[in-house]
Amino acid sequence: MAYSRTEHYDEQATSSLMKSYHEVLAALGEDPDREGLLKTPERVAKAMQYLTQGYHLDANAIINSAKFHEDVSEMIIVKDIELFSMCEHHMLPFFGKAHIAYIPNGWITGLSKIARVVDVFSRRLQVQERLTTQILGAIKESLNPLGVAVVIEAKHLCMMMRGVQKQNSVTTTSAFDGEFLKNATRSEFLKLISAKLD
């Protein structure tokens, strides 16, 4: 039996994107009809829909799908959440890790939902600064915690492949709310995400 993979994409969007990428290849001086490029417009059209699927996802709905009443008020941290996104300025990838904490105020959510919130906002055309605050905002709105903290560390291909071409630079952004605006709480969070467990 021949191998087949089933994926679902918006047919109208795929068709429109394919036409555009066919024109892009020609504008770059390539022959879009040569063997190696024949299916490239379709592949890129589908890839771009996958990489921007966050526009069709609701972060609050994801958190609320696994929201539980729990009488705890200790810091909950999910760190080293891998993320991949697309810089909206050059449409080149940036990638790295997110570290997220919140202090419950009667409600918690499934740990995987925190990682999914990262995907919701990273799977869009983004800037790292906005991505950081959007993640914080969704957790704050859905759980109404005593505090939220988000730190993202990422490498940007728009800096590595073009422009200044600095290969080892890492961009760090942070956003804090509630109890994390206090120095002691914020310092505890930053210490914990820096720690390496044996």
Would you call 188 a catalytic residue per the annotation? no
Chain centroid to CA 142:
18
Catalytic residue among 42, 53, 153, 158: 158
Would you call 8 a catalytic residue per the annotation? no
- Cβ(136)–Cβ(118) under 8 Å? no
Catalytic residue among 30, 70, 82, 88: 88
79/100 Cα distance (integer angstroms): 6
191/195 Cα distance (integer angstroms): 6
Catalytic residue among 22, 128, 134, 179: 128
Catalytic residue among 89, 129, 134, 188: 89
Catalytic residue among 42, 90, 153, 188: 90
Looking at the DSSP assignment, which residues form a beta bridge with residue 69? 107
179/86 Cα distance (integer angstroms): 31
Half-sphere exposure at residue 9, Cβ-oriented, CA atoms within 13 angstroms: 22
H-run or E-run covering 42:
helix 40-51
Would you call 69 a catalytic residue per the annotation? no
Would you call 87 a catalytic residue per the annotation? yes
Catalytic residue among 22, 126, 156, 179: 156
Q: Which two tokens stand for residue 180?
A: 């994390």
Catalytic residue among 87, 99, 126, 134: 87
Would you call 56 a catalytic residue per the annotation? no
- Cβ(13)–Cβ(47) under 8 Å? no
- Indicate which residues carry an active-site annotation: 87-90, 128, 156, 158
